[in-house]
Each structure stands twice: as C-alpha cells, then as structure tokens.
Amino acid sequence: MENIIVTPRSLSKGNNPLLARIKDAGYNLVFPNPGKQPTEDELVEVIGDAVGYIAGVEPITAAVLEKAEKLKVISRNGTGIDNIDLETARKKNIKIRKADGANARGVAELTIGLILAAVRDIVLSDRSLKSGIWNREKGFELEDKTLGIIGCGKIGQLVSRFALEFGMNVLAYDAYPNPDFHPSGNFRFDALRAVLKNSDIVSLHCPPLPDKRPLIEAAEIATMKHGAIIINTARQSLVDEKALLEALDSGILHCYAIDAFDKEPPDDLSLAKNERVIVTPHIGGFTEESIQRATEAAIDNLLESLQEA
C-alpha cells in the first residue's frame, strides 16, 4: 500500500472518520507526530515513501522535498501555502492543492470575537478581577466606527459583512479587489495607506509579502488613529512586533490580537505577556464545522490529484 502523510493537528491523531476515505481508496496513513506539528527531521524520515501529503502549517522545506522520491501531491487543509518551498515543489513536479474558503467562517467569527474582546477590554478585565482588582475599563461601541480590512478574499468579505451588521463602516484593501463585492454603501475599497489612516480597527486577512518583510512597521503604525486596534488572524510576520510593542506601551495603539504564529507553539511568549495583547493558539479554523469542510476539501483534492497522476 502506498503511503499518505497526514500532519494537521486536527487530524493527525487519526480519529477523524473522514480519513477512512483515504484508507478505502487503498492508501496507508502515516502520522509523523500525532497531535503536534512535525519537525523537519520527522518529515524527512517519512516522506521518501509517500505519494501524497495532507499538510498543515508546518514548514515543508527544500530539505524535506528533496527526499520526496514518490510524492505527487501536497494537499493543504487550509488556504495558505507560504509554508511550502514552492520552487522545489515545482522542480519536482509536485502538485499543490488548497482547501480554499473551507475555514473562512470560523476565522471570520473569531475575528469578530477578538474585535469585541479588544474594544471592551474583556481579557484585561477578566485578568484584573481574577487577581482581585476591580478595575473598569471604558470601551467603545462599534456602530459608526470604521473597520479596515487588509486582504478582502473569502474571510475578509465575511468579516466585512459581519461588521456592517454592527453598523460599522468598512474600508478594504486588496491587491486584486473583487469589483463584484459591494455589500453596502458603507463599504468601499481604498488604498492601503488610506485604510490604515482612517480605520479605528484594522484586521489582517492577507498572505505574507513575497520578501517576508512586515506589512505593518513603525511608519505604518504612525499613520494610524491614536488608540487604534490591530487584529491579526493571518500571519505573525505581517507585523513588526518591536514597533507594535512600543506603540502599545506608549498608548498609540490600544490593543493587538493575534491568532497565528510563525512557530507553533511559539518559543518566545514576551508578546503574550503584554496586557494589551490578546493571544489565541491558532483557533480561527479550529471549529467542528471548519475542520470538516477543510478535511473534505483536502481529501477530495488529494484523491483527485492522485487519480490524475
């Protein structure tokens, strides 16, 4: 039987019944590090005999792919593929497939949750009261405030719709804006600088920049409204964290919420220790419904690609 590697933490314990579809198709499932993100060495150890790979967010490096003698397809259970060395995959004729939009609602709903937590200081209030401190933080309401969306694909569009239902105005920046998306007169596409300058809250839903430099650095933060909030459910590398922490400590920014980290779990928790930072352990797409949609899409893409190979 040919091997299929399965690494997403939501699947790698092997108890999702949808995985039976792969077994029924005649393949053997391999879980390099069940329930955890596999290391490069762990992937190198198993990838030589694999023809398919259902991948999570772990780095799939050139060193890993060079050992992939039989691999035909990498099927992501999400949309991001910046964790894959695409040039090496191309050279080895390894097909890359994505589960586009499968986790969009889960991420969008978490984004709204983080926005509400930030504007009402829910996490800070919880920490204070549990420490015996009665300290009421004055928040603000969302109606008539402006939400800036950076990256207006399926997730950004859902967040826009949710925000409009709260009575917010929405400004969106996208490198390739969809001219057919116009959900309300209170929504419009604008330039990146204008979105940053005019938004009370900025939410990131875009991939990393090609050169991996931060999208939001000190210069960008300086253009934002005093007391603005940044929500990041996309990629840790999009924000210069040194500039961010300085802005939080000085009060230029009110709050920062982040759900995605370059290394998971992160080695450095200094960001999480700042009282104006809300951290969640990459739970945006970690809902029962999102997992099922993403798993179905990833398996469909995997089996389809193997049949075509």
Catalytic residue among 235, 254, 276, 293: 235
Q: Is 282 a catalytic residue?
A: yes
How is residue 89 written in tokens?
């995959």
Structural contact between residues 170 and 160, judged by C-beta atoms closer than 8 angstroms: yes
Task: Tell me which DSSP letter residue 225 carries.
Answer: P
90 token code pair? 């191309």
Count of CB atoms situated within 10 Å of the CB of 52: 29
Handedness of CA 30, 297, 113, 202 (dihedral sign): positive
Catalytic choice (76, 205, 282, 293): 282
| Catalytic annotation present for 264 | yes
In Å, how far are 70, 122, 173, 201, 224 from 195, measured between CA atoms? 46, 26, 7, 10, 9
- The stretches of the chain forming alpha helices (DSSP H) are 20-24, 40-47, 62-65, 86-91, 104-119, 122-130, 154-165, 192-198, 218-223, 241-250, 288-308
Contact, 183 vs 199, CB < 8 A? no
- Residue 213, burial from CB neighbour count under 10 angstroms (0-12, 13-18, 19+): exposed
Q: What is the DSSP letter of 120?
A: T
66 tagged catalytic: no
- Catalytically annotated residue among 42, 66, 246, 264: 264
Match 């190198």 to its residue by tokens. 44
Q: How buried is 61 (Cβ within 10 angstroms: 0-12 exposed, 13-18 middle, 19+ buried)?
A: middle
Q: Which residues are catalytic?
A: 235, 264, 282
